[in-house]
Amino acid sequence: MPKGNKKINRRDFIKYSGIAGAALTLSGIAGAGYFAGKDKSTHTGWGKGAYGENQDFNRTPFRVNNPTYKKAGKPVRIGYLENIFNRNGELYRLMHPRDGSNPKWSLQQGVDDLPGDLKKFYKKHPGRLDEFKKAYRRGRQQKKNWEKYKDQYLLADAWSAAHSSPMRGREAFPAEPQDAPEKSDFKGINTKPCQLKSPGHGSRLMKKIAHTFGATLVGIAPVKEEWLYQGYLRGVGKTRYEKPPHWKHAIVVGIPHEWESLYANPVYGTSYDAYSMLNFIAGKLEVFLKHIGYAARSHVPPTDYDLVMPPLAIDAGLGEQGRNGILITPELGANTRLAAVTTNMPLENDKPIDIGIKEFCEKCKICAEQCPSGAISFDKQPPQVIRGYRRWEINQEKCFTIWNTVATSHPRGCRVCLAVCPYSRKNNWIHKLAKQMDAYDPTGAFSSAMLAMQKQFFDYPGAQEYLPPPDGSNAVYQEPPDWLKTEEWFDL
């Protein structure tokens, strides 16, 4: 073969190999993308956060002096009955007295037959008592329906029961305070605290410790009087009280729900997986703080709080409040559950952040569109001033009616608004990139483009579909994992 031809052949060989190489590279990159999507280590679960590496959003450029909640009047502390679980508890106790005596109120009666504070509350909020009655009746139906569904959702129900079990009864951890904070928060301290190098050292230490206990997110906030409940204090009962002087700081911790079950809400998910974990984390922080000589009180879900969590977490710089009424964080989105420990340990507070979540919520409304109860507002701007702050409010009663309607064994929640939120996506490169770029874009153009894609490209079942037949089809947001599907393991 002539020398010239050989040269041409080698050149051609490289030329065509380059094309083959490009095809191979693109296939490799497509494959890498596919496996990045499948990768379970990017689930926003709590498995790999022992040293805080999941708190990976750089908050520094977004720190602000004023939190993103908008003051619009004189702040008022949340009343005991403003929490739905407290007022429902009071109604249940009237209907089913613990001492077995005759019911003091029934569904056939009205608001005028209720005692003092309850009557005042429901008079002020017309329609809510009727919604309670509806929820109660739906609850009875739910029990009957369960016969039909109990095999199909057996594993999901068992998974939820397993998670809720450590929180029940006398053996629950952390133990319910038995005294006023001035006593109970100091109980168990048998050492004087060593000289702390600085409050900054205190914060860094407690954040590291909280991460080792399993917290995904940790922030430190000052304890403001306005976030305290009024009218009820754990360990004391119904009472009027001021902020205890030793509640100087709150260590606020956040963790997500297990990701696959979150996506399969409402019927396959549970709140208790995150709740039980938070009980352990906050309870352990309380023990740790007391052990090094500081007063501590944990505030944990589902209802053992003396403080309202979302604004406290906003002050701690963890995130911002969303349209769905809950905290949205850059790492976990709406899939963020909270607990806190109040303490007198000298700590350095974090500053709140502003990454434009409120502005995104003004445009988005996906949670409102998907909410089966219609409890989430569609208003662009929050129309109400609630206890001195302008914010969106969810209709708790309507939400609770859905808890009593979906195909679960008992009202154990819905969480669709957590799952469908665009901020709750997996922590893989594409969603992380989108969240970062959105935060750094002051024009809002990027978020509008992302939102348009979110609404056009992504599939949502539709609000009514989450309900059992005949109103819906027991739809879930995404397919459940095999480990929650009874039919994968048992003959039905």
For ligand SF4, the binding residues (CB under 6 A) are 322-324, 328, 334, 360-361, 364-367, 371-373, 375-376, 394, 399, 402, 414-417, 420-423
Q: How far is CA 408 from CA 113, 147, 333, 413, 487, in A?
A: 32, 10, 25, 9, 17
Interatomic CA distance for residues 262 and 265, integer angstroms: 6
Interatomic CA distance for residues 398 and 260, integer angstroms: 26
Do residues 267 and 408 make contact, with C-beta atoms less than 8 angstroms apart? yes
Q: Measuring CA to CA, which residue among 406, 407, 470, 458 is closest to residue 431? A: 458
Does 5 help bind other proteins (rule: CB under 8 A)? no
Does 437 help bind other proteins (rule: CB under 8 A)? no
Does 74 help bind other proteins (rule: CB under 8 A)? no
Taking every pair of Cα atoms in the chain, the longest distance, rounded to a whole number of angstroms, is: 110
Interatomic CA distance for residues 129 and 150, integer angstroms: 30
Report the residue number, 247 or 400, with the smaller CB distance to ligand SF4: 400
Of 11-19, 198-206, 248-256, 365-373: span binding other proteins (CB under 8 A): 11-19
Interatomic CA distance for residues 29 and 472, integer angstroms: 41
Does 76 help bind other proteins (rule: CB under 8 A)? no
Report what 426 binds from other proteins, ligand SF4, none; CB cut-off 5-8 Å by kind.
Answer: other proteins
Residues 6+ apart with CB under 8 A from 330: 57, 59, 319, 353, 355, 423, 435, 439
293, containing H or E segment: none
Do residues 328 and 321 make contact, with C-beta atoms less than 8 angstroms apart? yes
Interatomic CA distance for residues 177 and 484, integer angstroms: 36
Q: How far is the CB of 39 from other proteins (least distance, A)?
A: 8
Report the residue number, 45 or 461, with the smaller CB distance to ligand SF4: 461
Size of the site for other proteins (CB under 8 A): 35
Report what 324 binds from other proteins, ligand SF4, none; CB cut-off 5-8 Å by kind.
Answer: ligand SF4
Q: How far is the CB of 372 from ligand SF4 (least distance, A)?
A: 5
Report the residue number, 62 or 259, with the smaller CB distance to other proteins: 259
Report the residue number, 111 or 475, with the smaller CB distance to other proteins: 475
Q: What angle do CA 83, 183, 212 make, to 5 degrees?
A: 70
Of 29-37, 163-171, 337-345, 443-451: span binding other proteins (CB under 8 A): 29-37
Pick from 3, 4, 5, 38 the residue near other proteins by CB under 8 A. 38
- Encoded one letter per residue, x for contact with other proteins by CB under 8 A and - for no contact, window 440-469 reads -------------x--xxxx----------
Does 25 help bind other proteins (rule: CB under 8 A)? yes
Do residues 75 and 226 make contact, with C-beta atoms less than 8 angstroms apart? yes
Pick from 51, 378, 429, 489 the residue near other proteins by CB under 8 A. 429
Report what 373 binds from other proteins, ligand SF4, none; CB cut-off 5-8 Å by kind.
Answer: ligand SF4
Does 483 help bind other proteins (rule: CB under 8 A)? no
Report what 31 binds from other proteins, ligand SF4, none; CB cut-off 5-8 Å by kind.
Answer: other proteins
Query: Is beta strand 70-71 parallel, antiparallel or unpaired with respect to 389-390?
Result: antiparallel
